[in-house]
């Protein structure tokens, strides 16, 4: 039967992170004691004011088709929010388009910009959906391996080594899923200058920008001069910082011709995002009373990050890892945990699942020497998972 399917799906495979989460849910429903640290989803409830705004929207009858590109109130709130994060720079709400989650925002952007024979550079390890989305556009994803000595980030030199005349795009995530690394302001500027000189489009995925452990929000492409933003599309959304994964609200800020193209594409696929959810998101982005909830969540993620890092340093000193400066992921290397020094992330995750912890192997992100742990979990669950994982690492090291 598969031979009759469209060639559009030739490279398509299900999301590994979703598949692992579903398997974990199945095992837990069957009575197995498993701590799920596989999925990138905040464990907090959506802020109360945001929920009330969604309920009020339903009660007010905002249940019909919304404007295709998003309600004006939400686009204005997103523009204001991004402006405040970047020193008050002026942003035009008309350059913002709302979609059904940031994943659709990325898909719409790629579909509007790339096509057959185009190449898109993707720093690796990378979120599982980037290469899949590029393939769906009939373009070619090109992995650019990050430097382990530099938090698995890439430099202009690394990008230049993979560049040729067919390269039309670059997808850069900062703070990064899966590593938790964050590009500095100077690193972002250097990459933006390189892309501008080459005429390469940059898709800047900044969905984790608010979850940053430095001062203020994470550095952004929006901190750069206007001339460096001519070929930049910035991806944003409500899912992570506002604990709204299930509300499905993503946003993109782009030059007007790209916004119009994305809006036309969306009008023929999903049309506008969930109408009541848009009103809820407008409160998340625009009501200053929600800010304490965000601050509280980020503080909890920071505390959990510190716990994970300190315990790995103390109890597994030989295990290499990327020290997270943003997002809520801990990316650690496992190929050296046994005396054979060839252990894979996939094998480690199988053993971890048997020990009662669900993780994602690095193969899902392009490098199976590593494993991703999400610390978006309760303190109690995280402590239990760390007990199990660090014991497993000790057992493997002794075997």
Q: pLDDT tens-digit profile of 37-79?
A: 998 899 999 999 999 999 999 999 999 999 999 999 999 999 9
Closest to 234 measured CA to CA, from 189, 204, 261 = 204
Per-residue pLDDT reduced to its tens digit, 129-142 = 999 999 999 999 99
Q: With 90 as the cut, is the pLDDT of residue 114 above it?
A: yes
Closest to 123 measured CA to CA, from 262, 342, 322 = 322
pTM over 0.85: yes
Q: What average pLDDT does the segment 165-183 reach?
A: 98
Instruction: Please state which CATH class domain 64-288 belongs to.
Output: alpha beta
Task: Check residue 19 and give its pLDDT.
Answer: 85
Query: In the chain, pLDDT over 90 holds for what percent of residues?
Result: 90
Report how far residue 53's alpha carbon sits from residue 51's, in angstroms, rounded to the nearest whole number. 5
The answer to whether 70 and 250 have CB atoms below 8 angstroms apart is no
Q: Which residue has the tokens 């067919």?
A: 166
Q: Which residue has the tokens 């946003």?
A: 251
Choice among 27-31, 115-119, 253-257, 333-337 with the minimum mean pLDDT = 27-31
Query: Residue 143: which H helix or E strand, with range?
Result: strand 140-145
Q: What average pLDDT does the segment 349-372 reach?
A: 96
CA 399 vs. chain centroid, Å, equals 36
The answer to whether 28 and 36 have CB atoms below 8 angstroms apart is yes
312 to 96, 148, 332, 367, 391: CA distances (angstroms):
42, 17, 9, 21, 11
What fold, for 2-45+292-398? 3.90.1150
Cis preceding-peptide flag for 144 (omega within 30 of 0) = no
What would the two tokens of residue 391 be? 């014991």
Report how far residue 47's alpha carbon sits from residue 22's, in angstroms, rounded to the nearest whole number. 26
Task: Check residue 2 and give its pLDDT.
Answer: 55
pLDDT band at residue 21 under the 50/70/90 scheme: confident
The answer to whether 223 and 185 have CB atoms below 8 angstroms apart is yes
Task: Check residue 146 and give its pLDDT.
Answer: 97
Per-residue pLDDT reduced to its tens digit, 285-335 = 999 999 999 999 999 999 999 999 999 999 999 999 999 999 999 999 999
Query: In the chain, pLDDT over 70 holds for what percent of residues?
Result: 99
Q: Where exactly are the structural domains of the chain?
A: 2-45+292-398, 64-288
Beta bridge partners of residue 250, listed in sequence order: 99, 237
Report how far residue 187's alpha carbon sits from residue 182's, in angstroms, rounded to the nearest whole number. 10
The answer to whether 219 and 58 have CB atoms below 8 angstroms apart is no
3-state secondary structure of 180: coil
Burial class from Cβ neighbours inside 10 Å (0-12, 13-18, 19+) for residue 226 reads exposed
Query: Residue 192: which H helix or E strand, with range?
Result: helix 185-198
Q: With 60 as the cut, is the pLDDT of residue 1 above it?
A: no
| Angle at the Cα of 17 from the Cα atoms of 15 and 23, rounded to 5 degrees | 100
Per-residue pLDDT reduced to its tens digit, 183-227 = 999 999 999 999 999 999 999 999 999 999 999 899 999 999 999
Q: What is the DSSP letter of 211?
A: S
Query: Residue 346: which H helix or E strand, with range?
Result: helix 345-355
Q: With 80 as the cut, is the pLDDT of residue 3 above it?
A: no
Tell me the torsion sign for CA atoms 23, 25, 29, 31: positive
| Higher per-residue confidence, 332 vs 11 | 332
What would the two tokens of residue 178 be? 């899966």
Q: With 70 as the cut, is the pLDDT of residue 145 above it?
A: yes
Q: With 70 as the cut, is the pLDDT of residue 365 above it?
A: yes
């Amino acid at each position: 039967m598969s031979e009759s399917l469209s060639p559009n799906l030739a490279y398509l495979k299900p999301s590994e992170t979703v598949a692992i989460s579903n398997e974990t849910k199945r095992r837990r429903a069957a009575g197995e004691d498993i701590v799920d640290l596989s999925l990138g989803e905040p464990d907090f409830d959506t802020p109360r004011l945001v929920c009330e705004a969604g309920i009020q929207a339903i009660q007010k009858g905002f249940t019909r088709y919304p404007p295709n590109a998003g309600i004006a109130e939400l686009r204005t709130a997103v523009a204001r929010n991004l402006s405040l994060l970047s020193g008050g720079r002026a942003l035009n709400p008309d350059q913002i388009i709302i979609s059904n989650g940031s994943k659709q925002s990325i898909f719409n952007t790629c579909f509007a910009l790339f096509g057959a024979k185009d190449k898109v550079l993707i720093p690796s390890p990378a979120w599982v959906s980037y290469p899949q989305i590029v393939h769906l556009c009939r373009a070619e994803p090109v992995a650019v391996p990050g430097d382990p000595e530099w938090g698995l980030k890439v430099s202009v030199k690394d990008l230049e080594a993979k560049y040729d005349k067919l390269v039309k795009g670059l997808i850069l995530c900062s703070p990064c899923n899966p590593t938790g690394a964050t590009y500095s302001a100077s690193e972002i500027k250097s990459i933006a200058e390189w892309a501008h000189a080459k005429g390469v489009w940059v898709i800047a995925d900044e969905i984790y920008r608010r979850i940053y452990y430095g001062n203020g929000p994470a550095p952004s492409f929006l901190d750069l001069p206007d001339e460096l933003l001519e070929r930049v599309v910035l991806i944003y959304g409500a899912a992570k910082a506002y604990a709204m994964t299930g509300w499905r609200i993503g946003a993109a800020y782009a030059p007007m011709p790209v916004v119009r193209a994305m809006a036309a594409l969306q009008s023929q696929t999903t049309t506008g995002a969930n109408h009541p959810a848009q009103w809820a998101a407008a409160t998340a982005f625009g009501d200053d009373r929600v800010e304490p909830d965000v601050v509280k969540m980020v503080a909890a993620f920071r505390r959990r990050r510190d716990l994970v890092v300190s315990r790995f340093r103390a109890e597994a000193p030989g295990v290499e890892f990327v020290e997270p400066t943003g997002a809520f992921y801990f990316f650690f290397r496992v190929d050296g945990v046994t005396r054979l020094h060839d252990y894979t992330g996939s094998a480690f995750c199988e053993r971890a699942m048997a020990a009662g912890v669900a993780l994602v192997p690095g193969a899902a992100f392009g490098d199976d020497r590593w494993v991703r742990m999400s610390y978006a979990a309760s303190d109690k669950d995280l402590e239990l998972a760390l007990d199990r994982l660090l014991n497993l690492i000790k057992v493997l090291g002794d075997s």
